[in-house]
Amino acid sequence: MLFKEDISPAYAKELFEDSEKVLKFVADIKWENGFVCRNCGHTNYCEGKTPYSRRCTRCKKEESAAAHTIFHNVKFPLNKAFYIAYNVCVLGNEFSSYNFSDQLGLNQMTCWKFRKRIQNCMLNIDNKNKNKTKIQTILMADYK
Ligand SMILES: [Zn+2]
């Protein structure tokens, strides 16, 4: 599969340290072609309550940056989730959930579940958009 060259290690490191930057990163990919409300199809929005979320100006439904991405309903800091995603999908590191648990100070089962989610997405990704990098594609894998 062909992907655009991925983000630089220096930029990845910035994202590992800052959940808000991760939210901006996913919001930029998700809405790169503009906002469309999932509830009513309207394309005008204003800022929502959480960082980088968007709120439809017609039906008032708010969508967080992480919703409908691989971070959907993730309950631990997104910089840590991004660290796991980047290691598994871009660096191809074979870290176990125990390694991630030690490195990130998270519950091992939490790491196991999220690592599994990424691996499942990697099996199913369909690289329709050659302008996206591997990490961008995985983050937008329509997680269910
Ligand atoms: Zn709407």
Q: What is the Cα–Cα distance from 92 to 55, expressed in whole angstroms?
A: 36
Which three-class secondary structure state does DSSP give residue 3? coil
pTM of the model: 0.90
3-state class (DSSP) for residue 71: coil
Separation of 64 CA from ligand 1 center, angstroms? 13
Q: Which residues of the chain have pLDDT under 70?
A: 1-2, 126-130, 142-144
Residue 46 C-alpha to ligand 1 middle, in angstroms?
A: 11
What residues contact residue 7 under an 8 Å CB cut-off, 6+ apart? 15, 133, 135
Give me the pLDDT at residue 134, please: 86
Q: How far is ligand 1, taken at its centre, from the CA of residue 110, in Å?
A: 33
**Spacing, Cα 133 to ligand 1 middle (Å):** 29
- pLDDT tens for 40-61 read 999 999 999 999 999 999 999 9
